[in-house]
Structure 1
């Protein structure tokens, strides 16, 4: 088991993400860290209760060839993710230059605008259809049940390249979530 060295990483409230896409550290082994399907983070069997620690780790998370890693400029350790590493916990309508848009916020304080920063789709996990949004570096966030119920009130008829049915329109883009039978 490996622990990741966090020395040298900036500790700040800044929304700027570290440039992990430019780092090419050597693989240093596996870390006993699991992101559960409900969005909770566990280290060595115990839940990480400090949201600031989860947020720090989320900023150095990297997805590569179907696996997840925490990376720093000098090392890379593999972690386990049961479903999606992020969880959308809040949403609101906002006005953007592209029109009325849905803004999502994750448990790690990431802010995404549907149709601008992310897309939404339905996919199966353990036999259950679940909504996801795209995130940085090819990762995804599960849309929390309470958030999905909130946005579901705004489902409307959409016609997309995937088909017709019920979906969302945000920033001028249509997203099919429930296809006509």
Structure 2
């Protein structure tokens, strides 16, 4: 990995808060330019065409990633904002499990960055036509995570048939998988 990426990693680790992720909503620097980082449809990250193999670096970059109103994706720090390329969705759901919370079933999706998110009103499901109708979960900062080939069948197994429509219930919410 290049020295510049190592330097960015050190700066970001120093800026991270102890609880949760960085406060991206408070950071509004000017555009610094475009950096040659690309996220492939399978969730792999590339820098200058070479896979980023350090999981800690991918997780760190994912923690400062946001999608803005222009539809573009940016890595954002308090003083820099770099546009990157995303082929389909920036994150991938690798697993899903049902847990009981407050007497109702809630589905927890685990992303390729290790982050878990409850599928609920704040993190709804929708389907992606460009991925054969696979499910996608909405995340904070305009991000989304596509269900992987491994996680998609697990989600479908948790679905129910309601009047000919396949639906998922999670955290008291209803999500059609059509």
TM-score range relative to shorter protein: 0.7 to 0.9
State how far apart, in whole Å, the 2-side matches of 1:51 and 1:13 are.
19
Q: Give the TM-score of the pair, scaled to structure 1.
A: 0.86
Structure 2: any 5+ residue segments left out of the alignment?
none
Shift of 1:97: 1.7
Q: Is the 8 A contact 2:134 2:152 kept in 1?
A: no
Q: Alignment partner for residue 139 of structure 2, among 130, 135, 138?
A: 135
* CA deviation map 1:1-39 (0-9, x unaligned): xx6763542357956110011111111111000000111
* CA deviation map 1:82-140 (0-9, x unaligned): 000010011111111261111001011221111254111112117x3221000111211
Shift of 1:172: 1.5
State how far apart, in whole Å, the 1-side matches of 2:11 and 2:43 are.
27
Structure-1 residue corresponding to 2:112: 107
Find the residue that maps to 2:58 and give its secondary structure: helix
RMSD: 2.1
* CA deviation map 1:41-93 (0-9, x unaligned): 00011001111110000001011110001011001010000000010011111
Of Structure 1 and Structure 2, the greater strand share is in: 1
Q: Is the 8 A contact 1:158 1:168 kept in 2?
A: no
State how far apart, in whole Å, the 2-side matches of 1:141 and 1:155 are.
19
Structure-1 residue corresponding to 2:176: 176
State how far apart, in whole Å, the 1-side matches of 2:160 and 2:51 are.
39
Shift of 1:157: 2.5
Q: Is the 8 A contact 1:158 1:176 kept in 2?
A: no
Of Structure 1 and Structure 2, the greater helix share is in: 2
Structure 1: any 5+ residue segments left out of the alignment?
none
Structure-2 residue corresponding to 1:165: 165
Q: Is the 8 A contact 1:133 1:142 kept in 2?
A: yes
Matched positions, count: 171
